[in-house]
Amino acid sequence: MRKLCLGVLLCALLLCAACQGTGNQEEQQAASYQEAMAKAQTIQVQDAAGQTVDTLSQQEEIATFLEELDLGHWTYWEAAPQAQPLGTFVFLEASTIKLGQTEPDGWVETCRLTLYPEDTITLEILGLTLTFTLEEAAWGTLATRLPS
């Protein structure tokens, strides 16, 4: 009987340790999204009509922009936004230079952020479209990058 109780207790402890060992999934997902976004060599800022109004191409600008996103505090939202988008941020990296080329052929879109009213954003990455709510400060910082 004593061995049975110890066995059950050991299984319970292992199960608890395994659950805690995975860490916070939201933080892990945010880190993987940020890693994909950090590969961008250019970020196009587009207005609601899809016209490019600004381009971030310096690595310092891109790093600052990624910090402003505050990905660790995004909250997944199951409902798709019903409002009209305010603007879009398109993350681009140079296409792969192939044998015999000295310059890349163009740009490849790695992800796209679309900003909506009421602190909502959609992230299109790796073939997925995800909706999140942002903290007001992060949303406001993104909104100021768009034309009024």
Q: Indicate the pTM of the whole model.
A: 0.76
- pLDDT score, position 29: 64
Q: Residue 81 in contact with residue 92, Cβ under 8 Å?
A: no
Euclidean distance between CA atoms 26 and 107, whole angstroms: 30
In this structure, what token pair is assigned to residue 71?
A: 């990905």
Q: Indicate if the alpha-carbon torsion angle 57, 58, 61, 62 is positive or negative.
A: positive
Q: What pLDDT sits at residue 5?
A: 39
Per-residue model confidence as pLDDT tens for the chain (148 residues)? 544 433 433 444 444 444 444 446 655 666 677 788 888 999 999 999 999 999 999 999 999 999 998 888 889 988 878 889 999 999 999 888 778 877 778 889 999 999 999 899 999 988 889 999 999 999 999 999 998 7
Q: What is the pLDDT of residue 142?
A: 92
For residue 145, which of 80, 35, 36, 62 has the smallest C-alpha distance? Answer: 62
